Amino acid sequence: MKRTDSPMSLHSRLLTAVLLCWILPVLIVIVLAGSLIGNSYERSSQMELKNRAENALEQIGIRFNSVLEASKAVSYDGVVRNSYRLYQRNRDNAALYRTVTEYLNQNFTRDERILAGFISFWEDVEIRPYVASRGDFGYSAQREYREQIEQDLLEKMKDVDTGILLLEYDGELYVARNLLDSRFQPYASIVLLCDKEVLFQSLEPIHQISDTVTLLLDDRLLLTDGNNLCTISQTAGLPEGQMFSDTFSGHTFCLTADVKSFDFWRDVPEIRTAGLAVALLVIPLLFVVLLLFRRYVARPMDILVQASRHLQKGERGYHIEEKAESREFETLFEHFNSMSTEMKYQFEHSYQEQQALQQAQIKALQFQINPHFLNNTLEIINWEARLAENDRVSAMIEALSTLMDGALARDGRSQILLREELRYTDAYLYIIQERLGDRLKVEKEIAAGLEEVPVPRLVLQPLAENAVEYDLTPRRGGMLCLRVKTEEGKMIMEVEHDGVMTEEDRHSVEAMLVSADTDSGISGHVGIRNVSQRLRLLYGDRGTIQVMQATPDKILARVSFPI
pLDDT exceeds 80 at position 270: no
> At 512, which CATH number?
3.30.565.10
Beta bridge partners of 252: 247
The predicted model gives 178-192 an average pLDDT of: 84
- Which range of 24-28, 87-91, 169-173, 210-214 scores highest in mean pLDDT? It is 87-91
Mean pLDDT of 495-508: 88
Is the CB of residue 430 less than 8 Å from the CB of residue 395?
yes
Predicted local distance difference test score (pLDDT) of residue 530: 83
Lowest mean pLDDT among 167-181, 241-255, 260-274, 336-350: 260-274
Q: What is the mean pLDDT of the chain?
A: 77
495 vs 108, residue with greater confidence: 495
How would you class 128 by CB atoms within 10 Å of its CB: exposed for 0-12, middle for 13-18, buried for 19 or more? middle
Tell me the C-alpha distance between 407 and 422, whole Å. Answer: 13
Judge whether residue 438 has pLDDT over 90. no
**Are 236 and 312 part of one and the same domain?**
no
Q: Does position 196 have pLDDT exceeding 70, yes or no?
A: yes
pLDDT tens readout for residues 522-562: 555 677 888 888 888 888 788 899 999 989 899 999 999 99
* Phi, psi values for residue 496, rounded to 5°: -115, 135
What was the pLDDT predicted at 235?
A: 47
pLDDT score at 408: 60
Domain boundary among 261, 284, 306: 261
> 402 versus 333: which is more confidently predicted?
333
Whether pLDDT at 237 is above 60: no
**pLDDT at residue 252 in the model:** 79
Structure confidence at residue 486 (pLDDT): 92
The answer to whether residues 31 and 60 belong to one domain is yes
> In sequence order, which residues have a C-beta less than 8 Å from that of residue 80 and are 6 or more positions away?
74, 100, 103, 119, 179, 188, 190
Spatial contact of 365 and 406, defined as CB atoms under 8 Å apart: no
**Overall average pLDDT of the 446-466 stretch:** 89
Indicate whether 214 and 286 sit together in one domain: no
- Beta strand extents in 107-265 (DSSP E only): 114-121, 130-132, 164-169, 172-180, 186-194, 210-217, 221-224, 228-231, 242-248, 251-259
Distance CA 544, CA 452 (A): 22
Residue 495 confidence (pLDDT): 93
The band of 483, judged by pLDDT with boundaries at 50, 70 and 90, is very high
Look at residue 406 and tell me if it is in a domain. Answer: no
For residues 212 and 177, membership in a common domain is answered with yes
234 vs 82: which has the higher pLDDT: 82
Structure confidence at residue 554 (pLDDT)? 92
**What distance in Å separates the CA atoms of residue 377 and residue 370, rounded to the nearest whole number?**
13
Q: How confident is the model over 419-444, as a mean pLDDT?
A: 87
pLDDT at residue 234, rounded to an integer: 47
Q: How far is CA 335 from CA 10, 295, 531, in A?
A: 20, 20, 44
Which strand (E) or helix (H) includes residue 369?
Answer: helix 327-369
242 vs 383, higher pLDDT = 242
Is residue 181 located within the same domain as residue 304?
no
Which residue range(s) make up the domain with 544? 413-562
258 within 8 A of 241, measured Cβ to Cβ: yes
| Torsion angles phi and psi, residue 126, rounded to 5 | -70, -30
Give the highest mean pLDDT range of 140-144, 157-161, 403-407, 414-418: 414-418
With contact defined as beta carbons under 8 Å apart, do 230 and 171 qualify? yes
Q: Domain end: 230, 261, 292, which one?
A: 261
Is residue 219 very low, low, confident or very high in pLDDT (cuts 50, 70, 90)? low
Stated as kind and residue range, the H or E segment containing 446 is strand 440-446
Same domain flag for 131 and 247 = yes
Q: Which of 211, 229, 261 is the last residue of a domain?
A: 261
Count of domains forming the chain: 3
Residues 321 and 446 in one domain: no
Residue 4 has pLDDT above 60, yes or no: no
- Asked if 252 and 281 sit in the same domain, the reply is no
pLDDT score recorded for residue 491: 92
pLDDT at residue 24 in the model: 72
The answer to whether residue 360 scores a pLDDT higher than 60 is: no
The confidence score (pLDDT) of residue 25 equals 74
Strand 242-248's sheet: what is its strand order?
228-231, 221-224, 210-217, 251-259, 242-248
Which is more confident, 401 or 470?
Answer: 470
Do 70 and 114 meet the contact criterion of CB atoms below 8 Å apart? yes
Q: Indicate whether 410 pLDDT > 80.
A: no
- 280 lies in the same domain as 254: no
pLDDT tier for residue 202 given thresholds of 50, 70 and 90: confident
Q: Is residue 391 part of a domain?
A: no
Q: How far apart are the first and last CA of the chain?
A: 37
User: Lowest-pLDDT range, 191-200, 310-319, 399-408?
Assistant: 399-408
255, β-bridge pairs: 215, 244
Between 275 and 319, where is the model more confident? Answer: 319
DSSP 148: I
pLDDT at 559: 94
Percentage of residues of the chain with pLDDT beyond 90: 7
| 95-104, 140-149, 303-312, 402-411: range with lowest mean pLDDT | 402-411
One domain for residues 252 and 318: no
255 and 288 both lie in a single domain: no
Q: What is the pLDDT of residue 122?
A: 82
Statement to judge: residues 175 and 292 lie in one domain: no
- Which pLDDT belongs to residue 262? 61
In-domain check, residue 398: no
